Structure 1
């Protein structure tokens, strides 16, 4: 079976590996049309642009070769596109952040279990199940967070940042190769599979937590400003 994004590209060809799947382009066009009808269309369109970067650009093919590129792909999906679109959607009453946070965390960790990850890279329906579940649970979490009071929202953003960092740390310090889907695909890029896996962990551990830290900081700053005004 071949990954939805095709075969693993070589360093000389990956930049030309754009994905112009008609169904994908139609879905993105519909998302863009919906984005124009939100209360903050610029943010929503920015989120759709990130989705296009993840699935249309050569990053899609590169993520077949390198697990580190797949880590970047997932970060763009759950920590950049999802919060941008969540910010553009109408606020709604939130009864708790625990369930959305647990769902987003469990989904992210589940798809990094080697057997599930390998299946997703070798089977298109499973691939799209992975992408849809990652994005939808992340969107659910961010919508809940942006609608919550400042204190629980800050704590939820910090917890989300911690779990991303923990997953990244586990991958960084793993001493054996975990994913069969990347056996032999990294060597032409000058990386053995374990080094690529460790690089993916570092990407999740460092750049991957930045969006969560920025959002937690902004919410915390808003809370601090309100406290100063009240004083």
Structure 2
């Protein structure tokens, strides 16, 4: 294994366990941006349900980018997998619930493909390494993952039930496939995580395999549960229509 270059991602150098809880990210530009996003989206909410969804999404964004978890993603690729899943499978659907139901230009089929391509591209080792060595590319990665996921969830929510379910199940399959590839890989693919996992008791390949397992099982599970919820809601509506 080649000796990696010194990676200094946006969240800082990889921490060791003893220093993790001191590694809060209080970047004023980040805090200002999150505040601006929260205010702008709050003005679009109409119901207490939408407001609760928005507050939950913003709280999770604070955990992901402000808390010491941000620094942990510099050390562990498995933490990065949790980070990306939280953005795309929790934050994005919460934001979709906070916004009015509206058809997204392109529709569910286009956004299913666009989001899948975006997710896979950012997990290609050269692009991933670029994101962890340049702040502008890092934020491009975060923004593109979140926004394409938001478009997918909004499109699935506005689509007929068959389209929404297909979009979510297709995303589940591609997420599971990427996770399986990483889980069974015998080679550590991500240079920024060649050293960081060691302090946490993991080899680079163990960390990568764990990241794949996270994507494969709980990650894909988010989309399966969402698809089942869509189907259950549709069956409930059909039963009410028949009963009426």
Following TM superposition, the consecutive aligned residue runs of length 4 or more in structure 1 with deviations greater than 6 angstroms are none
For residues 167-189 of structure 1, the C-alpha deviation after alignment (integer angstroms, 9 at most, x for no partner) is: 11110011111011111111111
The answer to whether the 8 Å contact 1:82/1:142 transfers is yes
Residues of 2 paired with 1:16 and 1:208: CA distance?
29
Instruction: Please give the root-mean-square deviation of Cα atoms over the aligned residues, in Å.
Output: 1.3
Q: Could you list the runs of 5+ residues in structure 1 that have no partner in the other structure?
A: none
The answer to whether the 8 Å contact 1:151/1:223 transfers is no
Residue 122 of structure 1: aligned partner? 133
Residues of 2 paired with 1:229 and 1:5: CA distance?
50
Residue 28 of structure 1: aligned partner? 34
Residues paired across the two proteins, number: 231
For residues 152-181 of structure 1, the C-alpha deviation after alignment (integer angstroms, 9 at most, x for no partner) is: 111111111111111111100111110111
Residue 12 of structure 1: aligned partner? 18
Residues of 2 paired with 1:89 and 1:180: CA distance?
39
Q: 3-state SS of the aligned residue for 2:107?
A: coil
Q: State the TM-score, normalized to the length of structure 1.
A: 0.96
Residues of 2 paired with 1:26 and 1:149: CA distance?
38
Asked if 1:71 corresponds to 2:81, the answer is: yes
Alignment of 1:23-172 (within 5 A): 23-37=29-43, 38-39=45-46, 40-94=50-104, 96-172=107-183
Q: 3-state SS of the aligned residue for 2:17?
A: coil
Residues of 2 paired with 1:15 and 1:127: CA distance?
23
Q: Could you list the runs of 5+ residues in structure 2 that have no partner in the other structure?
A: 1-6
Residues of 2 paired with 1:176 and 1:89: CA distance?
42
Q: 3-state SS of the aligned residue for 1:12?
A: helix
Q: Which of residues 218, 224, 230 in structure 1 aligns to 2:235?
A: 224
Residues of 2 paired with 1:140 and 1:196: CA distance?
30
Q: 3-state SS of the aligned residue for 1:97?
A: helix
Q: How many angstroms does 1:227 deviate by?
A: 3.2
For residues 98-153 of structure 1, the C-alpha deviation after alignment (integer angstroms, 9 at most, x for no partner) is: 11111110000000000100111111111111101111111111111111111111
Residue 197 of structure 2: aligned partner? 186
Alignment of 1:190-229 (within 5 A): 190-229=201-240
After superposing the two structures, state which structure 1 stretch, 193-202 or 153-162, moved more. Answer: 153-162
Q: 3-state SS of the aligned residue for 1:46?
A: helix
